Amino acid sequence: MRETILSALKDAQSALTALISDESALASTENAAALLVKTFEGGGRVYACGNGGSMSDAMHFAEELTGRFRHNRKGLPAQAISDVGHLTCVANDFGYEQVFSRYLDAHGRAGDCLLAISTSGKSTNVVNAAVAAKELGMSVIALTGQEMSQLGVLADICIATPAGDFADRVQELHIKVIHVLLELIERRFFPENYVVTATPVSS
């Protein structure tokens, strides 16, 4: 059992080390943060969507913006497409492939931004959401495990975190990227939350 634990942790460590060395992913993360800041500055709203664990990541991203990340501050307009009534209605009446795009048809506006999360980069309902967002004049940030995926090609900015053969490692890097994006957004709008108070020097 101990060997399995250590193997899993070392595998995760290797994936993170690879991400740190990935200049393309770092640049894309920086550009994504700038785009999210621009969206909020322009009075836009940020939406997020994904399936399974990626849905959980989308919800986590949105609630950290509307609530708080590290310290108290004003909420920022963000919404995960996760309403159960909407999802079940649209899945039943139109098909699960339309659950996210239909929501954007109703709520999305030009100047808004979509964070589309898919470890494979080919989830049909997430790809459809990206297509709908672009048609509405929204910007799209893709968070994937495959840079040249269908979703990645559609997006204005694609943050790809390749991390092996399984989705769990990709998702672990996704939540790290999400936390970095949140910090960069907060640092832009609420710099007072990141002021380091000097420790008095004793005489």
What is the per-residue pLDDT across 45-74, written as a single tens digit (0 to 9) for each? 999 999 999 999 999 999 999 999 999 999
pLDDT given at position 192: 93
Task: Answer whether residue 158 shows pLDDT above 80.
Answer: yes
Task: Answer whether residue 145 shows pLDDT above 70.
Answer: yes
Residue 69 resides in a domain? yes
Residue 53 resides in a domain? yes
Residue 39 resides in a domain? no
Task: Answer whether residue 17 shows pLDDT above 90.
Answer: yes
Residue 148: band (very low, low, confident or very high) from pLDDT cuts 50, 70, 90: confident
DSSP for 74-135, please give it.
Answer: ----EEES--HHHHHHHHHHT-GGGHHHHHHHHH--TT-EEEEEESSS--HHHHHHHHHHHH
Q: What whole-number distance in Å separates Cα of residue 189 and Cα of residue 73?
A: 9
Domains of the chain: total: 1
**What is the Cβ-side half-sphere exposure of residue 106, based on CA atoms within 13 angstroms?**
9
CATH code of the domain in which 173 resides = 3.40.50.10490
Pairing of strands 113-118, 46-49: parallel
Range of the domain at 86: 44-188
pLDDT given at position 202: 56
